[in-house]
Amino acid sequence: MNPSRNPFIAGNWKMHRTVSESVSLARAVADGSRIGPRTEVVVAPVATALAAVGKALEGARVGLSAQNVHWEDQGAFTGELSPGMLKDVGCAYCIVGHSERRQLFGETDANVHRKLLALRRHGLAPIACLGETLSERESGVTYDVLRRQLDGMLGALEREEATALLTGLIIAYEPVWAIGTGRTAKSTDAQSAHAYLRDRIRDRFGEVADTVRILYGGSVKADNAAELLAQPDVDGVLVGGASLDAAGFARIIQAAG
């Protein structure tokens, strides 16, 4: 990890845990994790538990993230939540563009771009996900996919506008073939993808690239977190199933230093 970028550890609980179970898990993470002085930790419970978890985490060194958002402030969008609503229940972060949203619910790069702008407008930090499928990886087009997704998410912004968007933006590289499969990208492969993304941002927008934190996600566990986090362009991890176990998640947090 680059010492100029604070390590960032996020737990995506996906569609797991009731409200009471989420509160218990959040308290266990907050009470049982030895969080380093520079490390930031965030959990993303289901939408129904956001308010209760936010209240349970008041005063703790664990932040609150939503798993999705709509780009409009209000309107006839049944089932959706706006950035203002998320902020109202204590969220400071929001995951957007996760591969499950892309594959199962038709999320597009253009919609992710809208969501990024909306979140930044409300002062929330997006955790923007991208990554290639197994077939794309085997076809040798990983970097083409990453470039298309990254450029689509950031849109056709001028450098000044892009700098404002990128300040506080967190990117999560999640190779789709490694999510929930037990397969993890080699640390060197993760580093190569992260370096490519940072170089692409630098080519388009300049030195702000050095401030953007890029996380790795995809079957992250306590026994592989340290090796991943040791890579110079891996600034943290986005953890799925392993974040549902407070003790295991605590070990991942400790791997960040």
Q: Phi then psi for 197, rounded to 5 degrees?
A: -60, -45
pTM given for the model:
0.95
Q: Measure the CA–CA gap between 124 and 69, rounded to whole angstroms.
A: 11
pLDDT single digits (tens) 158-200: 888 888 889 889 999 999 887 777 777 789 999 999 999 999 9
pLDDT at 1: 64
Query: How would you classify residue 45: left for phi > 0, otherwise alpha for psi between -120 and 50, otherwise beta?
Result: beta
Under-50 pLDDT residues of the chain: none
Residue indicated by tokens 């997704």: 149
Number of H helices, E strands in the chain: 11, 8
Instruction: Note the pLDDT of residue 159.
Output: 81
Angle of helix 246-255 versus helix 19-32 axis, rounded to 10: 40
Q: pLDDT for 221-236, tens place per residue?
A: 999 999 999 999 999 9
79 in Cβ contact with 111 (< 8 Å): no
Would you say 7 and 1 are in contact if contact means Cβ atoms under 8 Å apart? yes
Greatest pairwise CA separation for the chain in angstroms:
48
R_g of the chain, CA atoms, integer Å: 17
Give the residue numbers annotated as catalytic, written as ranges: 98, 174
User: Residue 183: what pLDDT?
Assistant: 75
Handedness of CA 30, 35, 41, 44 (dihedral sign): negative
Cα distance between residue 102 and residue 125, in whole Å: 20
